[in-house]
Structure 1
Amino acid sequence: MKTIRIGSGAGYGGDRLEPALTLLEKGNLDYLCFECLAERTIALAQKEKIANPEKGYNHLLEYRMNEVLPLTKQTQTKIITNMGAANPLAAMRKTAEIAQNQGIKGLKIAAVYGDDVLDQLTDLKELRILETGMPLHTLGDTIISANAYLGVDGILQALKSGADIILTGRVSDPALFLAPMIYEFGWEMNDYGKLGKGTLIGHLLECAGQLSGGYFADLEQKYVPELWDLGFPFAEVDEKGNGYVSKIEGTGGKITSATCTEQLLYEIHDPANYLTPDCVADFSQVEFKTLAENKIQFQNGKGKKPTNFYKVSVGYRNGFSGEGQISYGGYDCVNRAKWAGEIVRKRLEKWDFEEIKTELIGYDSITPFDGNPEAIPEVRLRVIAKAASLEMVRKVGQEVETLYTNGPAAGGGVSQSAEEIISVLSVLLPKKLAQAQIEYMNS
């Protein structure tokens, strides 16, 4: 029975590269997928593209491709990635340029786009925002991006055309991994049982190191060995959608039923009805079986017919935020830091801030401390505020800095920042209004 191997080269936009190179060198892979987009990531990429039409792709694209392309050519491994972000065409051109500069011939590079549906939303202002229930027009002219979560269609078309490197914009995360299974095994697009199994595999792999113990580990109950040298996972899968996940022998981390279970439930609202563009996956009966150390079999993934809608991430300008931080240590540091926060808040009240928040990192910034404040050796005051202009929010950090000589004793280590807030909301768009498009270049 035919099998293929698919590796995970990244779990987010800024992920490290070494584990991906190890997979290419030692994993005997057919495909390596880099999942590098989050909801807000693509909105920020669209903002960058607005400023420079040749940008808007992942900021580590050049770094990764410089290292990956020689190994890709050597091992005949195909690369599928959403590092195209807001500008897959520019990412394709840059990748082709890197290949040419390295003297790598014979690579077919594809750009999959069509997920940018900002123009389509112009006449659909009554669409309901999923998070608030309000109509889209309530965002006014603040919208800067709208990207639909496309499925496997564009990637499949590129694979059928012989592409070696495929750079997409916004597609669903599992689609990066599902597409090569459909292509290699000839699965029908209405065989939802197999699509559900493939979506399960894609979901397990999409966050890379998380399946190997990253974001899973703690020192007492869930210890993960050699976390500093975390190995990224791969899946070996057969034409029925069965197989196992593992990692390269000798790399750090661990893949167990527990790490697989945590990743299975990661970002899943309803395990029995995980909505994706290609199917509604059902993970409710999934079981994991240990075949050997770091070798876990998956089984009982299922799927149903997909909905008629794409989820669309809408990025919009949401004002500006300014921040200032300062540390206090030693005797009575908690009360001195609280006092400093009150001083800054009083100073900021003379201006028209939409919101002002103060917190003590190490005391109440995540969970309230209910013990003896005198037992805390140091805290860091964080003041953050929101306003309509960048000029105004810069006052936050400036006021925190003046605590050096105008606040409680022994404050130090001030930092300050100010930036525009890009927020993300979601709407549902009929699938007929978005279609994948593909262009190619050869090295």
Structure 2
Amino acid sequence: MRTIRLGAGAGYSGDRIEPAVELAEKGKLDYLVFECLAERTIALAQAARLKDPNAGFDPLLEARMKAVLPACRANGVRIVTNMGAANPISAARATTAIAQQLGLRGLKIAAVTGDDVLGDLKNSDRHLDNGFTVDGLGNRIASANAYLGGASIAQALRDGADVVITGRAADPSLFLGPLIHEFDWAMDDWPLLGRGILVGHLLECAGQVTGGYFADPGYKDVKDLARLGFPIGEVREDGDLIVTKVAGSGGRVTAATVKEQLLYEIHDPARYFQPDVVADFSRVQVEEIGEDRVHVIGASGTPKTGELKVSVGYIDSYVGEGQISYAGPGALERGRLAIEIVRERLALSGVETSELRSDLIGSNALHGENLSLGCQPYEVRVRVIGRTETLAQARRIGEEVETLYTNGPAGGGGAWKSAREVVAVASTLIPEADVRTAVQYFEA
């Protein structure tokens, strides 16, 4: 059976670029896939697009494309990515310009659109998973993006695209699209589609499956993490998968790293809902067949639901934060006094918070007072953070922490403050039939 090789060039928006270059140059790939969108990422991208209609795509798109396009072109590697975020058209135009600058004439770039459903949802009474309705958010709503499947990606590849840029596509569908195209999988062959979703699920977080998130010194040792190699999926026409990486790169691929990624973000392994299929991972088998080579089989699938998840971004509130450090004898007690002062000051000055949290980093910040060791640390960092309804009130929190410099207790240093808008995310479902996708092409 025919086999193709898919490489994972990124697992999130700010991921390293060097491993993707290594894959493009040495991975003997057919496809290099960059998965760069999280729920909150696209809401922030939509906010950027509102300020500038040419913005809203991934901030590292240009750097990534400049780094990998020459090697991909030379080695016949096609690129699939969701770096289009809130603006796939502008991302495609930017990529076209980069290709022209690099002298890569004849490169065909596709932009997949249709995931932006804000116009369809706005002012509707559709319920969200946070208890609100869409219309209940009023003018606080910033974005609404449906999770697209792999069909439009496959269409763009069939039409000869060298680079396919989407907005909000489901993470595994970025990998499923090339498989549908290459192997001519039918869109109702549920077992095959389920296997393709498994491929995407294992590769989508890039360095996680090659030992990055897996590493735990003394328990699960991973070598050369500073040069962590990103994964390659060797996918057979029947959906069987071998997970590997570039020989000599850092990290490791073992049954354990694959199993950890297999369970990542999975609630019911027999019913993993995706736009193209309901995947079934409950009978997956994982076997090491060589150094950094893991064979994965046994996924299946059942018919899709006909509904798509929609990620809705909205302005939730404002957060103000202040930090200051104390060191030396009595640092813990001075930190506690600092927190008491700030809390009392906020009450005296009428700052209203819906949430207010204070921590002594180095003592109780992660697990609270009950699980702290009770020892006296030599140094602590005070953090006070609160949620407010206005930016002005959020700023007061950090300002009160900063005034501890001269208003006690003794020895505070390294004060820092911030105030920011909070973009929150909620989810709902819409009928797949209500989402109209399109593919637009550009040529360098």
TM-score by length of 2: 0.97
Q: How far 1:323 moved relative to its partner? A: 0.7
Conserved? CA contact 1:213–1:259, under 8 Å = yes
C-alpha RMSD of matched pairs (Å): 1.1
Conserved? CA contact 1:334–1:373, under 8 Å = no
Q: Which amino acid aligns with 2:155?
A: Q
Q: Which of 336, 341, 344 is 1:343 aligned to?
A: 341
Conserved? CA contact 2:152–2:177, under 8 Å = no
Separation in 2, partners of 1:397, 1:315 = 26
Separation in 1, partners of 2:242, 2:58 = 30
* Structure 1 residue 295 corresponds to structure 2 residue 296: no
The residue aligned with 1:362 is 362
The SS at the match of 1:156 is helix
Conserved? CA contact 1:329–1:377, under 8 Å = yes
Q: Which amino acid aligns with 1:43?
A: A
Taking only the aligned residue pairs, the percentage that are identical comes to 51
Separation in 1, partners of 2:279, 2:378 = 49
* Structure 1 residue 52 corresponds to structure 2 residue 89: no
Q: How far 1:68 moved relative to its partner? A: 1.1
Alignment of 1:384-395 (within 5 A): 384-395=385-396
Separation in 1, partners of 2:430, 2:22 = 40
The residue aligned with 1:430 is 431
Separation in 2, partners of 1:424, 1:371 = 32
* Structure 1 residue 129 corresponds to structure 2 residue 128: yes
Q: Which amino acid aligns with 1:91?
A: A
Separation in 2, partners of 1:74, 1:290 = 32
Alignment of 1:1-400 (within 5 A): 1-122=1-122, 125-132=124-131, 134-349=132-347, 350-368=350-368, 370=371, 372-400=373-401
The residue aligned with 1:416 is 417
Separation in 2, partners of 1:333, 1:339 = 10
Residues paired across the two proteins, number = 441
Separation in 2, partners of 1:344, 1:254 = 48
The SS at the match of 1:62 is helix
Query: Which is worse superposed, 383-392 or 304-313?
Result: 383-392
Separation in 1, partners of 2:137, 2:372 = 44
Conserved? CA contact 2:179–2:196, under 8 Å = yes
Separation in 1, partners of 2:168, 2:403 = 44
Separation in 2, partners of 1:249, 1:129 = 46
Conserved? CA contact 2:35–2:205, under 8 Å = yes
Conserved? CA contact 2:25–2:72, under 8 Å = no
The SS at the match of 1:111 is strand
Separation in 2, partners of 1:176, 1:371 = 44
Conserved? CA contact 2:322–2:415, under 8 Å = yes
Runs of 4+ in 1 over 6 A off after TM superposition: none
Query: Which is worse superposed, 137-146 or 248-257?
Result: 137-146
Conserved? CA contact 2:339–2:358, under 8 Å = yes
Separation in 2, partners of 1:362, 1:163 = 52
Q: How far 1:401 moved relative to its partner? A: 0.7
Encode CA deviations 1:77-135: one digit per residue, 9 max, x unaligned. 00000000000000000000011111111100000010000001035x22121243x43
The SS at the match of 1:140 is helix
Q: How far 1:376 moved relative to its partner? A: 1.8
The residue aligned with 1:442 is 443
TM-score by length of 1: 0.98
Separation in 1, partners of 2:42, 2:179 = 26
Separation in 1, partners of 2:345, 2:51 = 35
Q: How far 1:374 moved relative to its partner? A: 3.7
Unaligned runs of 5+ in 2: none
Q: Which amino acid aligns with 1:60?
A: L
Conserved? CA contact 2:364–2:372, under 8 Å = no
Q: How far 1:319 moved relative to its partner? A: 1.6
